[in-house]
Structure 1
Amino acid sequence: MQNLFEYEGHKLNLHASIGIASLKYGLSKEDVIRNADLAMYEAKRRGKNQVVAFKINFLDIVSRRMQLEQALREALNEQELAIWFQPIIDAQKGCVIGLEALSRWRLSSEFIPPNEFISIAEASGMITKLGRQVFDKVGAALQELRIDYPQLQCNVNLSLRQFRDSDLTKDIIECIEKYHLPACALHLELTESMIAESETEILPTMQSLVGHGFKFHLDDFGTGYSSLERLKNLPFDTLKIDRSFVVPLRQDDHVMVKNIINIGRELGMNLIAEGVETEVEVHKLLQLGCHQIQGYYFARPMPLDELKIWLATTQPQQLAAHKSSQLSQYQQP
């Protein structure tokens, strides 16, 4: 639910997530309140601004969440979370220009989905500890990789709680100093929904980091509530085109991607299309002028050891050959 109010000349857009629980025989008032809370959290999990009625399976969800929260705390204490890397390709030049760091967690024999354990880390406050470990592992990996690939960069995702609960600028600077990296080796990613909710809160830290030479990428662009005015005022270097706009390219529906590319060009920003999985998508993106591509078509996320092999055997020879034999005919003149 959402409502628009005016207060002292300001328009306030208020959102609400509501959980509903039925009064049933045998349930105590504590049970009913608990059930309503569970329904409310489910409404938030589904994207907020929703009304959800309690279902009995929510109890199983809570039980799993509690177990995962405890296991995640132990995993962070033992630094058991892994970092996988997905290459970002310049399809015009046929080379790797960067990586995105992605957290992976294996609990016994099960890989826990990132969106599941990241949300637990966010809600519990463990995201700041997780974030520091990500920076440390990415820094160590980059220090090693840049011996052979001195221009390699890596994108790291940030959460709102890292801005709120830690000295983020200090954490990031300590990382690059520890591993003797330039600021340009780390690119910092924020989601569009995060910016829309907390622009004024995070802007000072963004400006501080930009002042130290770091660059920001706006992830999932087009899926949230960004305005051109916001894009003009915030210090973003790159827009990432969300996969939801890439998939329609298979049916030659390129309106949204073309508009995003035009916006990026007008604002002097780089563009990266993410979630690219087919040759048709690559061809269409090249036609529209987006050359930087991330997705399964070129490479899936992989652990560091596999990445080293992939870089040594695939880049630049195979990418360059692929470009010259299949892609060059689709590029803009």
Structure 2
Amino acid sequence: MATAVIWGKQAGDESVQERESLIARDMVASIDRILDNVVTRRRVELRSIPGQSCALVAHRLAELRTYVHYVRAIDLVEHRRLYCSSALGPIDVPLTDYLKPAPSGISIGLAAGTFSQPDTPVMPLYMSTGPDTGLLYIVEAAYLADTLAHGVRYEADHVVLVVSNAGALNNSGNMIPADSAAAQQGTRASSTRWAFSVAVAAAPEFVSHAHWKYGLLAGAAALLVNLLIAAAWLIAFAPRRLMLAAVRRGLKHGQLHFAYQPIVEIATRRISGVEALIRWTHPKWGPVNPGVFMVEVERSSLLPRITRFALERASDEIAQKTKIRPLRLAVNIAPMDLERDGFVADVLAVNEKLPDDITLVLELTERLLLQKHPRTEAIFQRLKAHGVKFAIDDFGTQHSNLDLLGRFPFDYVKIDGQFVRQIDKKGYELIRAIAGVAKHYGMEVIAEGVETAAQHEALRSLGIPFGQGYFYQRPMPVSALFVDADTASQGASVVP
């Protein structure tokens, strides 16, 4: 029995360490991509500028900075002093204010802020361009913190970026002393290309669950109580099994249906598309929140049936019961759909039945799980070759990053409603920045959660092409869709 207990404790510790290591390696790879992107963008043009007069090259420097993602500014360095900034023009700041000791070659650090924004953390990245000249990239730490925050999604308690001799940054975007980061428990992974590491500590709930699970298995093995193990397993997962069984019955008996919400052209308020939103009305429980049952569906063998139902039902209803053309039909899918056989065939079968003036758009709802893989790329290419479009949903939350737009050929970027609600504050600049990056990659922007006329006008002033939200129309059955628009316009295509 004692041996079994020891084995269970060891197995639990190994499981925790494996999860921590997996998250840490993933965070390192993501930050590597950010830094590699920074130093390779317009590298040849930028390397030729240091040493020249700021008055002569300030405009060119500011122009080149717009092509470099993730940075606040790019500064020119000569004789270990910053003398020209893409954001501020002529400056005179010691390089050691950002990196100590003064660097050579390529090096990175962390700083609590810049002289113009002292309370906003940054990662200075220095690249030498000659014996006495160089470039200093001021990388926004907010992008790094956004990447670190992904680890919390996978049951990490905290994730910390540690830069050698320069302090540390946690997943909340706060600077902490390097010795404080070193004293924290967890697992660390180091970059092979840059002088940083990422430390990850699993959430207490995950640690407790891992120890409980392996302790239970060890005890059961020692007592040879296989029947009790099976019973415990059934009891632990009974709620999930019951939920999935209820969804299966609901699908069979017609309890699942769809509400549709228009997507409008912000400049004209003409309807350009609709999003199909799955709904479940249970005979006893009443309306069931999709956030409750779809989480379980997406992790189960029921997902193919639900996705197929969504594609077929939504396309049939929109094709047969709406008249506005041309029209885009957006249907939500999960990244697990891209990993199963038959998905492409399901989509193409539906797409072939749609009229030419209705375009099918697949919205991906879980970006963090989407990995760049030859199979995934092939699916994107094949479906896009048949006219199917792709959208990334809720963009701008802590689970997404700008790096994703460069890795996948999305057609639309849907900005999360929380930023639209804050458009009179920090959301305005963030939306403009996302729109700029999306335009760079040839993608259209859709602002979600538009609820007021003020938000609509602000988005229009930013040049955001499309909007969606209660201000235009709430989700409703296909039979009621566009009713307000029909009574307001003979063209039946303008939302009041």
TM-based fold match above 0.5: yes
- Correspondence 1:120 to 2:308: no
- 108-117 vs 96-105, which moves further: 108-117
- Contact in 2 for aligned 1:188/1:216 (Cα 8 Å): yes
Identify the match of residue 144 of structure 1 among 320, 330, 333: 320
Q: Distance in 2 between matches of 1:320 and 1:143?
A: 19
Within-5 A mapping of 1:259-298: 259-298=433-472
Kindly indicate whether structure 1 or structure 2 has the higher relative contact order, using CA contacts under 8 Å at least 6 residues apart.
1
Identify the match of residue 268 of structure 2 among 93, 98, 103: 93
Q: Distance in 2 between matches of 1:251 and 1:61?
A: 45
Q: Which residue of 1 aligns with 2:351?
A: 176
- Contact in 1 for aligned 2:415/2:431 (Cα 8 Å): yes
Q: Distance in 2 between matches of 1:13 and 1:313?
A: 58
Deviation at 1:167, TM superposition (A): 1.7
- Contact in 2 for aligned 1:84/1:301 (Cα 8 Å): yes
Compared with structure 1, are the counterparts of its residues 311 and 140 closer, same or farther at alpha carbon in structure 2 (3 Å cutoff)? farther
Q: Which residue of 2 aligns with 1:158?
A: 333
Q: Distance in 2 between matches of 1:14 and 1:126?
A: 37
Q: Distance in 2 between matches of 1:209 and 1:106?
A: 32
- Correspondence 1:80 to 2:101: no
Q: Distance in 1 between matches of 2:461 and 2:243?
A: 45
Query: Per-residue CA shift, 1:283-323, capped at 9, x if unaligned?
Result: 1111111131101111111111111534423457798595x
What is the total number of aligned residue pairs between the two structures? 291
- Contact in 2 for aligned 1:145/1:152 (Cα 8 Å): no
Deviation at 1:268, TM superposition (A): 2.2
Within-5 A mapping of 1:23-38: 30=216
Deviation at 1:22, TM superposition (A): 11
Q: Distance in 1 between matches of 2:468 and 2:395?
A: 14
- Contact in 1 for aligned 2:259/2:276 (Cα 8 Å): yes
Deviation at 1:133, TM superposition (A): 0.4
- Contact in 2 for aligned 1:156/1:187 (Cα 8 Å): yes
- Contact in 1 for aligned 2:413/2:445 (Cα 8 Å): yes
- Correspondence 1:214 to 2:402: no
Q: Distance in 2 between matches of 1:204 and 1:251?
A: 41
SS at match of 1:264: helix
- Contact in 1 for aligned 2:413/2:438 (Cα 8 Å): yes
Q: Which residue of 2 aligns with 1:20?
A: 208
Within-5 A mapping of 1:192-211: 193-194=367-368, 197-200=370-373, 201-211=375-385
Compared with structure 1, are the counterparts of its residues 73 and 19 closer, same or farther at alpha carbon in structure 2 (3 Å cutoff)? farther
Q: Distance in 1 between matches of 2:443 and 2:332?
A: 19
The amino acid of 1:189's aligned partner reads E
Per the normalisation by structure 1, the TM-score is 0.75
Deviation at 1:183, TM superposition (A): 8.4
- Contact in 1 for aligned 2:260/2:276 (Cα 8 Å): yes
The amino acid of 2:395's aligned partner reads F
Within-5 A mapping of 1:244-259: 244-251=418-425, 253-259=427-433
SS at match of 1:3: helix
- Contact in 2 for aligned 1:183/1:213 (Cα 8 Å): no
The amino acid of 1:245's aligned partner reads F
- Contact in 2 for aligned 1:273/1:294 (Cα 8 Å): yes
Compared with structure 1, are the counterparts of its residues 23 and 237 closer, same or farther at alpha carbon in structure 2 (3 Å cutoff)? closer
Compared with structure 1, are the counterparts of its residues 252 and 164 closer, same or farther at alpha carbon in structure 2 (3 Å cutoff)? closer
Q: Which residue of 2 aligns with 1:3?
A: 24
The amino acid of 1:20's aligned partner reads S
The amino acid of 1:135's aligned partner reads L
SS at match of 2:345: helix
SS at match of 1:189: strand
Q: Distance in 1 between matches of 2:492 and 2:426?
A: 27
Q: Distance in 1 between matches of 2:387 and 2:288?
A: 34
Gaps of 5+ in 1: 35-58, 323-333
Q: Distance in 1 between matches of 2:437 and 2:292?
A: 33
Compared with structure 1, are the counterparts of its residues 69 and 214 closer, same or farther at alpha carbon in structure 2 (3 Å cutoff)? same
Compared with structure 1, are the counterparts of its residues 252 and 119 closer, same or farther at alpha carbon in structure 2 (3 Å cutoff)? closer
Q: Distance in 2 between matches of 1:192 and 1:21?
A: 24
- Contact in 2 for aligned 1:276/1:293 (Cα 8 Å): yes
Query: Per-residue CA shift, 1:199-228, capped at 9, x if unaligned?
Result: 225222111111111111111112234334
Query: Per-residue CA shift, 1:50-105, capped at 9, x if unaligned?
Result: xxxxxxxxx99965433322101211233431011010111211211100011000
Q: Which residue of 2 aligns with 1:325?
A: none
SS at match of 2:350: helix
Deviation at 1:8, TM superposition (A): 8.5
Compared with structure 1, are the counterparts of its residues 289 and 22 closer, same or farther at alpha carbon in structure 2 (3 Å cutoff)? closer
SS at match of 1:123: coil
- Contact in 1 for aligned 2:359/2:387 (Cα 8 Å): no
Q: Distance in 1 between matches of 2:452 and 2:219?
A: 48
- Contact in 2 for aligned 1:217/1:237 (Cα 8 Å): yes
Query: Per-residue CA shift, 1:35-63, capped at 9, x if unaligned?
Result: xxxxxxxxxxxxxxxxxxxxxxxx99965
- Contact in 2 for aligned 1:192/1:225 (Cα 8 Å): no
Q: Which residue of 1 aligns with 2:364?
A: 190
SS at match of 2:411: strand
Gaps of 5+ in 2: 1-19, 26-188, 221-233
Q: Report the identity percentage.
A: 26
